[in-house]
Copies of this chain bind each other. A is one copy, B any other.
Amino acid sequence: MLRLYDSRLSGNAWKVRILLNQLQIAFERVTLDLAKGELNRPEVAQKARFKRIPILELDDGRTLVESSAILLYLAEASPLLPSDSYLRADITSWLFFEQFDLTRALGFPRFFKLRGVYEEQKDKVRFFQEIGYAGLNKLEDWLNRHAFLVDERYTLADLGVFPYVSLAHEGGYEMERFPATKAWLARIASQPRFIPMLEGAKG
């Protein structure tokens, strides 16, 4: 059985759990408390090439890292990732946009709030928000003209971009500025077999 190393707080881990649930793939979950240094447990550390979760462990013990690479691997041959090479590339481009423009910029201010260091990190928050708002504007611009990111239907692109955008307000982002994005978030959260973050993931 697949084994997923994740954490309660990670949007990157959440996206893999949503996908596994939507594809109805059974898996074992090993949920780490990163604040307690559980990423440094030797059996985990040797699998964590980039010192972060999620990590997917296959039946044969091989592991894969990077949430978006894991999404593309798991969604292969599913309706969420069409076999058409152009559509696949288009979906993949959104996953790279998410990691380049949104994940860090939206995720770190939220992380600072959760850790109670938002005020003391306000220079970094301002810096991240400059990047993050630029990314959110690009997303809003697209969603003003489209209901979904690719092919006018729910695909892996929507799933991958959703988590950090949906959590951005927890890091102080004013999402009222992005009405089309808010409508899209509701649309994605109402897809069949969508699942919320883990309980207790706010603290």
A residues adjacent to B (C-beta < 8 A): 49-51, 58, 62, 64-70, 72-73, 76, 85-86, 88-90, 92-93, 95-97, 99-101, 103-104, 123-124, 127, 131, 138, 142
- When distances are taken between beta carbons in the complex, the residues of chain B under 8 Å from A72 are 89, 92
CB distance from A20 to the nearest CB of B (A): 15
Bound: A85/B60 CA distance, A: 14
Q: Dominant SS at the A interface?
A: helix
Lowest 7 A-B CB distances belong to which pairs? A69-B93, A66-B93, A73-B89, A69-B92, A66-B96, A99-B100, A68-B96
B58 touches A86 (CB 8 A): yes
- When distances are taken between beta carbons in the complex, the residues of chain B under 8 Å from A85 are 73, 76
- When distances are taken between beta carbons in the complex, the residues of chain B under 8 Å from A69 are 89-90, 92-93, 95-96
Give the most central of A72, A85, A101, A103: most B CB within 10 Å: A72
- When distances are taken between beta carbons in the complex, the residues of chain B under 8 Å from A86 are 58, 62, 64, 73
A142 touches B49 (CB 8 A): yes
Bound: A49/B89 CA distance, A: 14
- Taking a contact as CB atoms closer than 8 A, the residue among B50, B51, B64, B142 that contacts A90 in the complex is B64
Bound: A60/B5 CA distance, A: 43
- When distances are taken between beta carbons in the complex, the residues of chain B under 8 Å from A127 are 124, 127
Bound: A67/B100 CA distance, A: 11
